[in-house]
Structure 1
Amino acid sequence: MKKNIKTPSLSVVIPVFNEHKTIEQVFDRVYNNELVSEIILVDDCSTDGTYEIIEDIVKKKLPERNIKVKFSQNKKNMGKGGALRSGFKLATSEIIVIQDADLEYDPKEYYNLIQPIIENKADVVYGSRFIGGTHRVLFFWHYIGNKILTLISNVFSNLNLTDMETCYKMFKRDILEKFELQSNRFGFEPEFTAKIAKANLRIYEMPISYDGRTYKEGKKITWQDGVAAFYHILYFNISANYFYGFLFFFIICFFLITI
């Protein structure tokens, strides 16, 4: 970190659903990061005791450091997008970063992600898993699916991102005043990307490490989420007047090709 440059306050928003095995370790990693001013945990109606674990964590950790810790529970399961919207409303710091509640993303990356914002080069920074960071070797088709979705998103948004679906999105809190987020579940990623592109915000990508999970270890995203992401890319990038016509045309073309 460069000297003589004031480090802005940082809120970490952590959406949580059934992560009783990992939530305490993730919290500790975030809590021990010197950049962090505020931690916001949003439980999305977990059924495995995660919320009770969060309550215990907060009680134990609150006296130790001068970090604000907030937590809430959605009244019904709303998915990642819904949990993030709840968390963003509680955030008070100058900058927000999204942190998944598993162990795939390491909070040590905050130090790199925040640099373009501190240097006033960016309003939004994406942490890319595909431009240099160390990563666990896992699913080939997940990699291909991510590349396809990022490519389609780039075609419509006119960006040149390498990892639209990354969890690590760090941004100035005041950009949320420029648009309204609507998506639940994993539709958040393409919606957020489409809206920051339309708002003409300054966007950077920084390399990050990635320690992906297997499904046995708790990975939740499926091929259905990929289909939903494609839908959301179209929906949020194409004017509502043309969206359904375009979608109908695509479906007809798809069936004609497969006949």
Structure 2
Amino acid sequence: MNITSLSIIIPAYNEGNTIHLILDKIKTVELVGGIKKEIIIVNDCSKDHTEQAIQDYQQANPELNIQYFKHAVNMGKGAALHTGIQKATGDYLVIQDADLEYDPAEYNDLLKPVVKGFADVVFGSRFMGGNPHRILFFWHTIGNRWLTLATNMFGNLNLTDMETCYKLFNTKMIQGIKLEEQRFGFEPEVTLKVARIPKIRIYEVGISYYGRTYEEGKKIGWKDGVRAIYCILKYGMFKG
């Protein structure tokens, strides 16, 4: 399949201390087949120096195709992703958190099933393959597996990691889906809505995971888990 460009969507909220580090990693990645990178950063009304850090990076790296957008009020990760998805111009797009939990060096692993003509959507699983995986929270893992199981049941899927950040989509396809969830409910919503597309080809590849603690800036909590359950019922059982 002929892919010329990849949009990298980065939602950012209070990531002033790490945003330059993830951009450094993205900058060094050489995509397979000479695919060009478009970096779209959506600042979800950060309260720290995230905006200044991004603008400084843009000025220091004019050769990079960085598109910067910001929300006037904090709306949530899902809302930031909605903005980034609609602004994307690449043939495909991938979601990248602004922290250092996921490794951009693995973009080519995600792209492989697409480039070979097999996939329209690729999920990067933290629970398959032999890549490094930081050991952290037991109950987060149990919750993730239950949410993935429930999503699989309603979507007739066999994913191992529905909640993964690394999701790669055909851009025109994902732009044609009406997305509603403003926060972390984005993950089950987009998964279930994509699963309903006729003849959709979804693949999964193993990725690394360098998770962080709450002290290091992790933001997802138990309330987001409750919302995810609601979203699975809404977009799975009731086809909302």
2:41 matches 1:41? yes
Q: How does 1:237-248 map to 2 (within 5 A)?
A: 237-239=236-238
The equivalent of 1:23 in structure 2 is 19
**Cα shift at 1:6:** 4.7
Following TM superposition, by how much is the alpha carbon of 1:118 offset from its aligned partner in structure 2, in angstroms?
Answer: 0.6
Would the aligned equivalents of 2:85 and 2:175 in 1 still touch at CA under 8 Å?
Answer: no
174-183 or 114-123: bigger deviation: 174-183
CA contact (8 A) 1:16 1:44 kept: yes
Gaps of 5+ in 1: 244-259
TM-score (norm 1): 0.87
Q: Secondary structure at the match of 2:184?
A: helix
Q: CA RMSD in A?
A: 1.3
Query: Quick one: distance in 2 between partners of 1:21 and 1:178?
Result: 34
Which of 107, 112, 125 is equivalent to 2:109?
Answer: 112
Percentage of identical aligned residues: 51
Which amino acid counterpart does residue 25 of structure 1 have in structure 2? L
Question: Radius of gyration: which is bigger?
Answer: 1
Q: Would you tell me which structure has more helix in proportion to its own residues?
A: 1
1:90 equivalenced with 2:99 (yes/no): no
1:102-155 Cα shifts (integer Å, max 9, x gaps) = 000000110110000111100000000000221111111111010000001111
Gaps of 5+ in 2: none
Counterparts of 1:138 and 1:183, CA distance in 2:
27
**Count of matched residue positions in the alignment of Structure 1 and Structure 2:** 234
Tell whether the 8 Å contact from 2:122 to 2:205 is kept in structure 1 after alignment.
Answer: yes
Contact 1:178 1:199 in 2 (8 A): no
Whether the aligned pair in 2 keeps the contact of 1:31 and 1:39 (CA below 8 Å) is no
Cα deviation code 1:45-93 (max 9, x no counterpart): 000111111111111111xx3x421001011111111001111121111
Indicate the residue corresponding to 1:32 in structure 2.
28
Shift of 1:30: 1.1
Question: Partners of 2:27 and 2:112 in 1: how far apart?
Answer: 20
